[in-house]
Amino acid sequence: MSELRKIYGLWRREVLRYWREKSRIISSLIMPLLWLLVFGSGMRGIELSGTQSYQTYIFPGIVAMTLLFTSVFSGISIIWDREFGFFKEIMVAPVSRTSIVIGKALGSGTSALIQGFILLPLSFLVGVHLSPLSFVMLIPTMILISIGLVCIGLLIASMITSMEGFNFIMSLVIMPMFFTSGALFPLTSAPAWLRDFSYINPLTYGVDTLRWATFSGTSPLLPVYVEFLILALFAIAMIAACSYTFNIKK
């Protein structure tokens, strides 16, 4: 049980830090709103195979995008901890490396979830009607997605030494993950090469599950429980990978 208290401590720190930065919370909402209201409106004429408007269609994708950006950046932010010494306090404490990763992942997951929650009520703006059941289904999906993504950030942070490699990561990791995830267009009508990329992108299953939860009745790429399982396995695998990386001593 003692590891739980340590995870709690690390989780609390992440959440406190997030909560203190109100400007970051607000600025990180601007991007999804631009996508929804500006990009979404501009693409209104696009014909989709259902009865949904494009704006409505991309809503779950934009939620996933918010999770993607918030989580990966939150993971990468461990660079600051390393730069300004706080990392040492954690590394010298009698805490297992797995607990450090889980604490960080849950903390960032919580911030991502808060971000998502602020976004969900805005769904009515684009014609989405969320049922209470949808809400219940969205929460665990959002948590699982952000845990895996935080760990991607942590792994990236272990490979780069400063924030200077940041643009590189943005264009090499984050944007490709976003564009191939099916957040902005249905993968069923995408060319085969693009679909291949999408299938190896874990975020694809996140977007798809979110979409399934948002509009009850849409048919997912794979059965939902399989997608959910993929997300869970991905999160566990990433936690294991991060713990392993953190364990390497100089």
Partner 1 sequence: MEPKFAIETRDLTKRYGDLTAVDKLNLTIDYGEVFGLLGPNGAGKTTIISMLCTIINPSSGSAIVNGFDILKQSAAVRRSIGIVFQDPSIDDRLTGRENLQLHACLYDLRAELAKKRIAEVLNLVGLEDRADSAMKTYSGGMRRRLELARGLLHHPRVLFLDEPTLGLDPQTREHLWTYIENLARTTEITIILTTHYMEEADRLCHRVAIIDYGKIKVIDTPTNLKTALKGDVITITTAHKEKLATRLIELRLNPQIDTSGDTIRLAVADAEKLIPRLIKIAAEIGVEVSSVSIHHPTLNDVFLHYTGRDIRTEEAESPFKKYMTMGRQAR
Taking CB under 8 A as the rule, does residue 91 contact partner 1? Answer: yes
Our finding on whether 97 is near partner 1 (CB under 8 A) is no
Binding window for partner 1 (CB under 8 A); candidates: 7-15, 23-31, 63-71, 170-178: 7-15
Per CB under 8 A, 84 contacts partner 1: yes
CA distance 244 to 250: 13
Interface pattern 203-222 for partner 1 (x via CB under 8 A): --------------------
Q: Characterize 2-34 residue by residue with b for buried, 16 or more Cβ atoms within 10 angstroms of its Cβ, and e for exposed.
A: eeeebbeebbebbbeebeeeeeebeebeeebee
Q: Which of 26, 48, 86, 223 binds partner 1 (CB under 8 A)?
A: 86
Smallest CA-to-CA distance from 64 within 144, 153, 170, 152 is with 144
Site string for partner 1, 153-172 (x = CB under 8 A): --------xx-x--------
Q: According to the binding rule CB under 8 A, does residue 85 interact with partner 1?
A: yes
Tell me how far, at minimum, the Cβ of 21 lies from partner 1, in Å: 8
Residue 17 lies near partner 1 (rule: CB under 8 A):
yes
Which residue from 2, 49, 51, 189 is in contact with partner 1, where contact means CB under 8 A? 2
Does 95 sit near partner 1 (CB under 8 A)? yes
Of 31, 46, 93, 175, the one binding partner 1 (CB under 8 A) is 93
User: Which of residues 14 and 227 has its CB atom nearest to partner 1 in the complex?
Assistant: 14
The single residue among 89, 121, 189, 219 that binds partner 1, judged by CB under 8 A, is 89
Q: How far is residue 39's CA from residue 32's CA, in Å, rounded to a whole number?
A: 10
- Determine if 106 is a binding residue for partner 1 (CB under 8 A): no
Q: Which is nearer to partner 1, 2 or 189 (CB)?
A: 2
Q: Is 129 in the site for partner 1 (CB under 8 A)?
A: no
The token pair at 197 is 């990329």
Instruction: Please tell me whether residue 16 binds partner 1 under the rule CB under 8 A.
Output: yes
Residues that bind partner 1 (CB under 8 A): 2, 5-6, 8-10, 12-13, 16-17, 20-21, 83-95, 161-162, 164, 249-250
